Amino acid sequence: MIGGFLDILGPEAPRWRAKMRRRRYGRDEVVFHEGDPGDTLHVIEKGRVLVEITTTIGDVAALSVRGPGEVIGELALVGDGRRTASVTALEPTETLSLTQGMLEDLRTTDASVDRYLVELLAEKLAETMAQLMEVLFVPVESRILRVVDRLATSFDEGQTPIVIRVRQEDIAAMAGTRRQTANRPLKAAEAKGAVRIGRGRVEVIDRELLRKLGR
């Protein structure tokens, strides 16, 4: 993960931070909807959000979880102005939002902002390509456990177990499969002591074992 957005602003960060609007979202509250006009970029300060898209047949599929320090909503500001995904708070979440006008001011006065945006988009493209390669070439059982391992990074607060507050159907979607398929490898990993499954959550007890099972 590249450095945080505010980090690149250096001594100017406090001034720009004061201009940004703080927004607060409760659990399950929508930050923005896919297809909405997009005129703000959000920097997540606290909490985590779920990024979802609507498929061509109308299903909603989870793509990823984003947490503190990460940026959401940037594509609408550098693309056609429409949100390419929906974002919902998984827990109480706070963001700092930057309007398109403010971003344009930053881009014209600080070349590092453009470099950051290019690196951010390249990083997310690489993530998408890696996920596509997994769907094509990695067995579904391993994909599920790898998704859980990646989510453990997002939810890691320095304690064991790592509590991942994401539903099984969303974990399945991130792995390119259905909930029924995801349940089997999760149950197997639970039986071996790597994870514990709860309602709307998965707890990672032994991450090294989880990674071994996901190979």
pLDDT above 90: residue 170: yes
Sign of CA dihedral 109, 112, 116, 117: positive
- Tokens 């703080």 locate to 22
* 35, 44, 67, 33 alpha-carbon torsion, rounded to 10°: -10
In a domain, 120, yes or no: yes
Provide the domain limits for residue 31.
6-135
Cα angle value 150/115/30 (rounded, 5°): 50
Percent of the chain with pLDDT over 70: 99
In a domain, 114, yes or no: yes
Pick the last residue of a domain from 135, 161, 184: 135
pTM, whole model, 2 decimals? 0.84
Domain count, the chain: 2
C-alpha closest to that of 161 among 114, 102, 212, 207:
207
Sign of CA dihedral 121, 155, 64, 144: positive
Mean local confidence (pLDDT), 124-148:
90
CATH number at residue 179: 1.10.10.10
pLDDT tens per residue across span 53-84: 988 787 788 999 999 989 999 887 777 778 98
Q: Tell me, what DSSP letter sits at residue 2?
A: P
180-211 core/surface letters (b: 16 or more CB in 10 A; e: else): eebbebbeebeeeebbeeeeeebbbbbbebbe
